[in-house]
């Protein structure tokens, strides 16, 4: 049996992963603020168990109880694939104009939420003898600075290092969890629209992202979802590794 847990599952890459999982898994547990209208229909069509949990990951105090609720729904014989996908690109501003409220939201959603969820997941499943995979969706911004993306780059860099450390710690455990980072590259999603609509004074690379769209250089979320699932279901994962979709093409 296979159970997929996906955060940020109502749109973009999260929704694309969820739709594909409906076809191949036994149980999909989707976490987002709002439900995607197609998921219930797809679950019925493919006979997949669907659990939807409404949650704003900005409310970090609720995350430990969220993991307890999620794991209570997982069959005791099921392998588990946990994909921390939810994220925000904003604030797109140079340092000095970020603002504390916007910074705190970025830190909570992009960094605190996935590391708290991962920490609780590893703690509560450490004695579970089955396949356990945690994927933290990353970005090239974890490795490279971009003007106007101080918050996004910093949170993704922090999450990537957390994943490396957590992965290295699993090596000697009797029932380890595989933890990886995955960079999906540039995709045709709502987040890309937000990037293109940024003020050029706040984001000096804006024209390059317009060019990605105009020249058809953005990958579809469906294509990226397929590559990610092929990686985590088939490949022997290197714990803590940063996987880039460009190396999987």
The phi and psi torsions of 32 (rounded to 5 degrees) equal -165, 170
Active-site residue 146, yes or no?
no
Q: How many CA atoms lie within 13 A of 60 on its CB side?
A: 15
DSSP 114-155: HHHHHHHHHHHHTT--S-EEEEEE--GGGTS--TTBHHHHHH
39 contacts 22 by C-beta, under 8 angstroms: yes
Look up residue 248 and give its two tokens.
């999987």
Q: Distance between CA 194 and CA 138 in Å, rounded?
A: 18
Q: Distance between CA 138 and CA 67 in Å, rounded?
A: 21
Helix, strand, coil abundance in the chain, percent, nearest 5: 45, 15, 35
Q: Is 58 exposed, middle or buried (0-12, 13-18, 19+ CB in 10 A)?
A: middle
Q: Check 81, 146, 152, 243 and give the catalytic one.
A: 152
In angstroms, the Cα distances linking 195 to 146, 191, 192, 216, 222 are 12, 6, 5, 16, 20
167 contacts 179 by C-beta, under 8 angstroms: yes
- The catalytic residue positions are 152
């Amino acid at each position: 049996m296979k159970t997929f847990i996906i955060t940020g599952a109502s749109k973009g890459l999260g929704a694309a992963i969820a739709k594909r999982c409906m076809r191949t898994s036994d149980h999909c547990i989707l976490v987002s603020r709002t439900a995607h209208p197609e998921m219930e229909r797809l679950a019925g069509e493919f006979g997949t168990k669907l659990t939807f949990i409404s949650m704003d990951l900005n409310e970090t105090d609720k995350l430990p109880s969220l993991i307890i609720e999620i794991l209570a729904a997982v069959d005791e014989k099921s392998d588990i694939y946990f994909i921390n996908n939810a994220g925000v690109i904003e604030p797109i501003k140079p340092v000095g104009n970020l603002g504390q409220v916007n910074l705190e939201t970025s830190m909570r959603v992009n960094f605190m939420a996935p590391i708290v969820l991962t920490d609780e997941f590893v703690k509560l499943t450490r004695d579970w003898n089955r396949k356990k995979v945690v994927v933290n969706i990353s970005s090239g911004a974890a490795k490279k600075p971009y003007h106007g993306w101080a918050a996004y780059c910093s949170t993704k860099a922090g999450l990537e290092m957390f994943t490396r450390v957590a992965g290295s710690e699993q090596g000697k455990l009797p029932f380890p969890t595989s933890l990886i980072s995955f960079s999906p590259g540039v995709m045709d999603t709502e987040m890309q629209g937000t990037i293109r609509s940024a003020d050029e004074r706040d984001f000096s690379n804006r024209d390059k992202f317009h060019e990605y769209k105009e020249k058809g250089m953005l990958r579809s979320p469906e294509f990226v979802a397929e590559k990610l699932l092929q990686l985590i279901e088939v490949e022997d994962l290197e714990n803590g590794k940063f996987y880039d979709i460009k190396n999987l093409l």
